[in-house]
Amino acid sequence: MLGHLCVPGGLNPSEQQRLTELIKERIRIPKGTLFFKVGDPVTAIYSIRYGSMKTQLENESGHVQITGFFLAGELLGLDGFGEETHLSNAIALEDTEVCVLRLNDLDVLTQEIPALQHQLWKILSKEISRSHNLVLSLGAMRSEQRVASFLLNLSERFTNLGYSPTEFILRMSREEIGNYLGLTLETVSRLLSRFAKEGLIRIHQRQVQLLNKHGLHELLKQDQTIKLKKQV
């Protein structure tokens, strides 16, 4: 699985092997450790070998807003890609190890592995899209739709990484999920319990099983259906 390799997804096996040979530097990050912060110079991007990370911002009054979660096999640090400094703080959700892709080496790597540059831009585009969709969801989605969308997004990402799309462990706490989605801890817990009672999911602590993905998708369509009925 990609989570055990020092490479992003989207490369063929030979390209994965070559990139793994070229990347020698790894960094272990204990749970709760601040890895980089806003304003730190961007010298590399990081492929998460195992573990998971979150990115967040903090305003002058101390309010923290989580801006993203990153899983094993995904790239971290793209917030500062093309910039001179990082735009967010990165903190380990659990004991994590990252493989370091130094920016100075990227030109050489992309020349030797042309598909790497394409994949980096593809991943960066997805990150921008994810941030854009978060802003839209906070403004337009009801609370249950935000949680359903979050679970479906995780399912899609686990699928892309070669893991099960229907059974996975939530690496983040419910409070962190709430912060990310603009919901309270109580609301997230209540909705997860409701989804379980309705047969959409099965949940035990942080272990989640999606029992009815179609039902979760239908939740996201409800407002569209109501709007269409009003137009008729």
Using an 8 Å Cβ cutoff, are 92 and 31 in contact? yes
Helix, strand or coil for residue 135? helix
- Quick one: 9 and 114 in the same domain? yes
- Quick one: 187 and 126 in the same domain? no
pLDDT of res. 3: 41
- Quick one: 105 and 8 in the same domain? yes
Q: What is the pTM of this model?
A: 0.85
- Please count the CA atoms within 13 angstroms of the CA of 78 that sit on its side-chain side: 23
- Quick one: 94 and 201 in the same domain? no
For residue 94, tell me if it sits in a domain: yes
The residue type at 179: N
Locate tokens 């042309």: which residue?
Answer: 114
* More confidently predicted of 44 and 106: 44
Using an 8 Å Cβ cutoff, are 126 and 78 in contact? no
For residue 90, tell me if it sits in a domain: yes
Q: How confident is the model at residue 29 (pLDDT cuts 50, 70, 90)?
A: very high
- Quick one: 114 and 178 in the same domain? no
- Angle at which helices 174-181 and 114-140 cross, to 10°: 80
CATH number of the domain encompassing residue 149: 1.10.10.10
Which domain range does residue 76 map to? 2-131
Last residue of a domain, one of 72, 107, 131: 131
pLDDT of res. 89: 97
- Quick one: 146 and 102 in the same domain? no
- Quick one: 154 and 102 in the same domain? no
Tally of structural domains, the chain: 2
pLDDT of res. 103: 83
Separation of alpha carbons 177 and 158, rounded Å: 17
Torsion sign across C-alpha atoms 43, 48, 50, 52:
positive
Q: 85, 82, 78: which is closest to 122 by C-alpha? A: 78
- Across the range 177-202, mean pLDDT stands at 97
Model confidence at 10: pLDDT above 80: no
Model confidence at 230: pLDDT above 70: no
- Quick one: 22 and 123 in the same domain? yes
For residue 217, tell me if it sits in a domain: yes
pLDDT in tens, 32-66: 999 999 999 999 989 899 999 999 999 989 899 99
For residue 136, tell me if it sits in a domain: no
For residue 79, tell me if it sits in a domain: yes
- Quick one: 157 and 47 in the same domain? no
Using an 8 Å Cβ cutoff, are 90 and 54 in contact? yes
Locate tokens 């992309």: which residue?
Answer: 110
Contacting residues for 199 by C-beta, under 8 A, at least 6 apart: 211, 212, 215
Q: How confident is the model at residue 231 (pLDDT cuts 50, 70, 90)?
A: very low
CATH number of the domain encompassing residue 13: 2.60.120.10
Q: How confident is the model at residue 215 (pLDDT cuts 50, 70, 90)?
A: very high
Q: How confident is the model at residue 232 (pLDDT cuts 50, 70, 90)?
A: very low
pLDDT of res. 227: 41
pLDDT of res. 228: 32
Read off the tokens for 209: 């099983």
